Amino acid sequence: MTVRDDPAPPDLYRPSARRIERERYRRARTRRAGLVAAGSTLATAAVLVALVVNSPGWSRTRETFFNWHYAKKSLPDVLHGLWLNVQLMVVCGAVVLVAGLLVAVVRTLRGPVFFPLRALATAYVDFFRGLPLIICLLAVVFGVPALRLSGVTNDPVLLGGFALCLTYTAYVAEVFRAGIETVHPSQRAAARSLGLSSAQTMRYVVLPQAVRRVVPPLLNDLVSLQKDTGLVSIGGAVDAVAAAQIVASRSFNYTPYVVAGVIFVALTIPMTRLTDWVTARMNRRQSQGGVV
């Protein structure tokens, strides 16, 4: 900017009386809206709390679900089990993202020569998306060792992780495919007319846009995966939920479940914030000219 050295313009803007009045009125409205919202929230909360605390079974419910003694007793076991959930989630999450993207790309390949590949990928997705996860886990965790194949592990954690990957890859492949198909054909046409090959078009033009669009549903699937890692305990491995169940069924007290639940929720919140931040950063880069 250049500095002007002419005197300040004589006609300084002064808001009219009407404008001042209008702004004052708007401020008052905003303040009032805030107060009304706070009041209504407080009243609702008060009634809910009164309803729960005054219910005839509250003392017993509190004893069964919010018992400090059992919370402390179960926390080390639950955390120990949680390590298994976290490991499974990180490894399976990485495998699922890569494999899902591959399957989605295979499903969107053009050209008649790729028909068998496309058919295979479609059949795989159709089957494993429809197969209940618990049945997939049972079949893999208890079925594969029953085959007595030499060199194949019978570790329930590895097998359970494999079953999780099978199911979730199918989910994630569909999410990616939806993203790929939302990219407007003109983008592809423009890229091809600039001389990019089919693969380059996919890599530099289509996929970056597709992935950015499906980050929220992908996160849904990852959070879902994180919670479903607990199902691997069907093979006997002790995860956070199973650890809570062991303490709970020994003492007939449900507090350990509450502890495990709170920990799981606490795990997903940072993940959500992180992906929100990543998405925002992607959007900033995309609209470098500023948002219109």
Contact flag: residue 57 with other proteins (CB under 8 A) = yes
Per-residue x/- marks for other proteins, 167-206, CB under 8 A? ----------------------------------------
Q: Are 225 and 268 contacting, i.e. CB atoms less than 8 angstroms apart?
A: no
Residues 6+ apart with CB under 8 A from 237: 84, 156, 157, 160
Pick between residue 51 and residue 274 the one whose CB is nearest to other proteins: 51
The correct pick among 20, 48, 274, 278 for binding other proteins (CB under 8 A) is 48
C-alpha–C-alpha distance, residues 198 and 206, integer Å? 10
Contact flag: residue 26 with other proteins (CB under 8 A) = no
Choose the binding region for other proteins from 56-64, 108-116, 204-212, 277-285 (rule: CB under 8 A): 56-64
C-alpha–C-alpha distance, residues 96 and 170, integer Å? 9
Q: Are 276 and 218 contacting, i.e. CB atoms less than 8 angstroms apart?
A: no
Helix axes 240-251, 68-107, angle to 10 degrees: 150
Total count of residues recorded for the chain: 292
By CB under 8 A, the residues from 58 to 77 that bind other proteins are: 60-61, 63-65
By CB under 8 A, the residues from 226 to 265 that bind other proteins are: 233-238, 242, 245-246, 248-254
Choose the binding region for other proteins from 31-39, 171-179, 210-218, 276-284 (rule: CB under 8 A): 31-39
Q: Are 110 and 198 contacting, i.e. CB atoms less than 8 angstroms apart?
A: yes
Which two structure tokens, joined as six digits, stand for 283?
A: 């959007």
Residues that bind other proteins (CB under 8 A): 33, 36, 39-40, 43-44, 47-48, 51, 55-57, 60-61, 63-65, 142, 145-146, 154-156, 233-238, 242, 245-246, 248-254
